[in-house]
Amino acid sequence: MQISHAGRQTPGEINSSPMAPSNIRLKIPGKNYGTPVPMTEEDILDVIEKFVFTAKIARETGFTGVQFHSAHGYLLSEFLSPDINNRNDAWGGDIENRARIHLEIIKRCREEVGEDFPISVKMNSADFQKGGFAADDSIIVAKMLESAGVDIIEISGGTYEQPKLIGVDDLTINPERSEQRKESTIAREAYFLEYAKDIRKAVSLPLMVTGGFRTKEGIEDALKSNICQIIGIGRPLCADPYCVKKMIAGDLEILPSFEKTLSLGPSILSPSSPFTIIKAINAFGAMAWFYQQIKNMAKGLMPNHKQKLFNAFRADMKADKIALKDYLDH
């Protein structure tokens, strides 16, 4: 079970004054995010206990492990990022203080779930944002997590403002603050493998890398290199739930890349459009398309590969509005 807290990335319709380390608001065109209320010491301790309580319930209800989500700009990730966390108390400042909430969660979690229950942390390799959580920081935090008794670290990257997590390097919400990945890294099949390589030199616990893996050769090379011990597969499984099984059986050499065929339209309407808003609609529309496939499978249906990107985008927005109304009504 993955356990997370949205922090300042909570939609404004849900909470116009979400909790976060500091009062730095997330600004994304077309999206409504409220100005965060800086968490008090009591708030932080309460959130720690809620993470721990959820992990305890996960074990009691039959889950075989938990993962704490500290990537992609969510609350735990926000504490690590110096451009979001500008606190001057025990929970901010140097990297040790910014990582304190993680270490406290892990310590308390171990007390509740025991030593034989796997604990994973999903962590950014970097925020790819000037002044944000950097690759060098991730190495330091990985060492801390290993010392604290974490069993697995998953390597990812990016935030809502710098969405490298979806593998789009030329899309950024705040261009003036963006930090690009190295060309050699962009050229690799897996988005974050290069960063995992540096973390591997610092820790001995198992690493998981998710993002971009498509070929059997690329997956086998990553595992044989000992950079990571676990491969995360996301989008291919969303639209073909049997693709990994086919690859393991030797019936498939390359996992499907549905995202390469998803587009609003040709030319300036494509993902390579010169207009940022069109790029963004294509990128987030593709995410909506995959969401729709997951929802199909949740209903016992197979993925609908014929669904158009814009139709999926509209369907996802409509579903969000219905879910929001239901939430507010209750």
User: Rounded to the nearest 5°, which phi and psi values hold at 208?
Assistant: -120, 135
Residue among 74, 191, 291, 327 flagged as catalytic? 74
| Residue 122 in tokens | 């999903």
Cα 310 from Cα 212, distance rounded (Å): 23
In Å, what is the CA distance from 70 to each residue of 150, 235, 279, 317, 328? 13, 20, 26, 26, 28
Q: Cβ neighbours of residue 58 under 8 Å, at least 6 residues apart?
A: 1, 3, 66
Cα 161 from Cα 36, distance rounded (Å): 16
In Å, what is the CA distance from 29 to each residue of 73, 126, 161, 206, 316? 17, 23, 10, 38, 18
Amino acid at residue number 216: K
Helix (H) or strand (E) holding 158: none
Is 327 among the catalytic positions? no
* DSSP states along 29-76: TT--BPPPEEPPHHHHHHHHHHHHHHHHHHHHTT-S-EEEEE-TTSHH
Within a 13 Å sphere around the CA of 201, how many CA atoms are in the beta-carbon half? Answer: 8
**Hey, which residues are catalytic here?**
74
